[in-house]
């Protein structure tokens, strides 16, 4: 009797390099993927291509000279970086901030959050394949925020606006009416994007259930920001450990249920709406007149000690750990970079999915290489 031998085709996994220069990794980021056909078996992230030694440079600069360095950490949300650093130094040196400066700081920080989330959502959709159209619409709104920042400090990307003890200069007269106009029109634009995207079949098919980060893993890897909140943990530094004057404002913290890419996208859009809510309250209560910068010496010498100042940046909890030895420059300057830590679980989120999903998962974490590498 004849028997036929079963022919088994031997396949073996092969390693593909999503190299540092690639059209869709946000910045210089390398992923070494082990693929079995189209399915990702394992993934190893390699970065450090943008390491500039900011922590070492900061040890040679005075406390005020470090502020432009912090701009270049997360360059898509520079105002938040400045603010976090100034909060850390103020905590270390015990410097108080005048009322008007606090309100201006809140207004600027929330405008920055809107601008950063617009960028994040736009590029996430670009990774999904909606060839540039959502990006260009959202960049159009981001331009308005950048125009507002241009009015305030003359810069569009690396602002260097916050100072220890307040802000560097007062806002011009045309700023507040322009912010009011922006806050009035922005919800209409958000509704327009939502109409096209929220129930879009293809977006739901690509992003729902993809790249799930379970709740316990999210807490264990120290995730923060929209990534943590989309996994079901209602942890927002603005509510849990209010800094500046955030305890005076009324706002909600959007929390997702499933922890997939779609939830991260929805959390970011809802956060934009809440930011607009905070902006409305802050503009109403802004005190007229008053100084915007408390009297600090030109060369700040904080007492010997250490402090950890943190805030809720658009990408997560941005913290600065400063150790002072009484001199004009910090002894140690360490950045707690949210996107660096959020990337810890990237391999777990990608295993079992296909290459096309890897791009989407990576885009939904919303990294900025300046912060990952420092």
Partner 1 sequence: MTLALSGKDIAAKIEGKFPKSVVEAAAESLLVEAESLSEIAAYLKNTPGLDFDYLTAVSGVDYLDCFEVVYHLTSIEHNHSLVLKARCYNRENPVLPSVVGLWRTADFQEREIYDLLGISFEGHPNLKRIALWEGFEGHPLRKDFL
Partner 2 sequence: MAMQMLPPDWPGNFWAHWAIFAVAVLVFVLLMVIVFIWFERRAMAVMQARLGPNRAGPFGLLQSVADALKILIKEDIIPARSDKLVHWLAPVVAFVPALLIFAVIPFRGGAILADLNIGILYIVAISSITTVGIFMAGWSSNNKYSTLGAMRQVASVVSYEIPVVLSLVGVILLAGSLSMQQIVAAQNIPFILLQPLGFLLFFTGALAEINRAPFDLTEADSELVAGYMTEYSGMKFGLFFLAEYAEALAISAIVTTIFLGGWRGPLLPDWLWFLVKVFIVFFVIVWIRTTVPRLRIDQLMALAWKFLFPLALLNLLITAIEILVWPAVSLWVFVPINIAIAIVLVVLWSKFFKLGWGKVEV
Binding site for partner 2 (CB under 8 A): 14, 16, 22-24, 36, 38-41, 125-133, 136-137, 140, 196, 200-203, 205-206, 209-210, 351-357, 359
> What is the C-alpha separation between 292 and 153, in angstroms, rounded?
14
Binding flag, residue 373, partner 1 (CB under 8 A): yes
CB of residue 176 to partner 1, shortest distance in Å:
30
Among 15, 56, 132, 191, binds partner 1 (CB under 8 A): 56
Binding flag, residue 15, partner 1 (CB under 8 A): no
Phi, psi of 242 (to 5 degrees): -60, 130
Binding flag, residue 265, partner 1 (CB under 8 A): no
Question: Cβ closer to partner 2: 283 or 355?
Answer: 355
CB of residue 55 to partner 1, shortest distance in Å:
6
Question: Cβ closer to partner 1: 131 or 308?
Answer: 308
The residues, ordered by sequence, that sit 6+ positions from 46 with a Cβ below 8 Å of its Cβ are 29, 30, 31, 32
> What is the C-alpha separation between 361 and 54, in angstroms, rounded?
28
Stretch that binds partner 1, among 28-36, 134-142, 251-259, 336-344 (CB under 8 A): 336-344
Among 222, 328, 354, 355, binds partner 1 (CB under 8 A): 222
Q: Which of residues 269-308 bind partner 1 (CB under 8 A)?
A: 306, 308
Binding flag, residue 27, partner 1 (CB under 8 A): no
Among 22, 344, 354, 355, binds partner 1 (CB under 8 A): 344
Binding flag, residue 365, partner 1 (CB under 8 A): no
Print burial letters for 323-361: b (CB count within 10 Å at least 16), e (below 16). Answer: ebeeebbbeebebbbbbbbbbebbeebbeebeeebbbbb
Question: Cβ closer to partner 2: 258 or 296?
Answer: 258
Nearest to 337 by CA among 323, 351, 349, 320: 320
> What is the C-alpha separation between 229 and 117, in angstroms, rounded?
15
Where are the strands (E) in the chain, listed by range?
A: 14-18, 30-36, 39-46, 162-163, 166-167, 305-313, 316-324, 332-336
Binding flag, residue 17, partner 1 (CB under 8 A): no
Question: Cβ closer to partner 1: 115 or 335?
Answer: 335
> What is the C-alpha separation between 194 and 74, in angstroms, rounded?
27
Nearest to 189 by CA among 314, 101, 253, 273: 273
CB of residue 369 to partner 1, shortest distance in Å:
12
């Amino acid at each position: 009797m004849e028997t036929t031998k079963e022919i088994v085709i031997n396949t073996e996994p092969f390693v593909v390099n999503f190299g540092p220069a690639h059209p869709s990794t946000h910045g210089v980021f390398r992923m070494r993927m082990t693929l079995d056909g189209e399915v990702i078996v394992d993934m190893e992230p390699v970065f450090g291509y943008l390491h500039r030694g900011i922590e070492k440079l900061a040890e040679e600069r005075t406390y005020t000279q470090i502020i432009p360095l912090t701009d270049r950490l997360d360059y898509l949300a520079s105002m938040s970086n400045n603010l976090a650093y100034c909060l850390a130094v103020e905590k270390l040196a015990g410097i108080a901030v005048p009322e008007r400066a606090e309100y201006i700081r809140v207004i600027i920080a929330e405008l920055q959050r809107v601008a950063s989330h617009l960028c994040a959502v736009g590029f996430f959709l670009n990774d999904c394949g909606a060839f540039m159209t959502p990006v260009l619409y959202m960049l159009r709104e981001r331009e308005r925020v950048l125009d507002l920042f241009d009015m305030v400090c003359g810069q569009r990307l690396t602002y260097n606006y916050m100072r220890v003890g307040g802000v560097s200069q007062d806002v011009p007269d045309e700023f507040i009416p322009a912010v009011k106009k922006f806050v009035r029109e922005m919800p209409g634009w958000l509704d327009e994007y939502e109409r096209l995207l929220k129930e879009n079949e293809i977006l739901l098919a690509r992003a729902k259930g993809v790249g799930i980060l379970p709740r316990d893993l999210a807490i264990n890897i120290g995730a923060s920001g929209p990534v943590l909140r989309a996994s079901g943990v209602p942890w927002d530094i603005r509510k849990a450990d209010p800094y500046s004057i955030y305890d005076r404002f009324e706002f909600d913290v959007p929390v997702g249920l499933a922890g997939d890419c779609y939830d991260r996208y929805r959390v970011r859009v809802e956060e934009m709406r809440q930011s607009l809510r905070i902006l409305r309250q802050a503009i109403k209560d802004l005190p007229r007149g008053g100084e915007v910068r408390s009297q600090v010496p030109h060369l700040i010498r904080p007492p010997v000690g250490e402090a950890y100042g943190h805030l809720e940046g658009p990408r997560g909890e941005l913290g600065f750990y400063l150790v002072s030895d009484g001199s004009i420059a910090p002894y140690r300057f360490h950045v707690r970079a949210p996107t660096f830590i959020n990337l810890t679980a990237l391999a777990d989120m990608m295993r079992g999915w296909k290459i096309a999903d890897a791009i989407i998962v990576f885009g939904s974490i919303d990294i900025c290489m300046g912060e990952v590498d420092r």
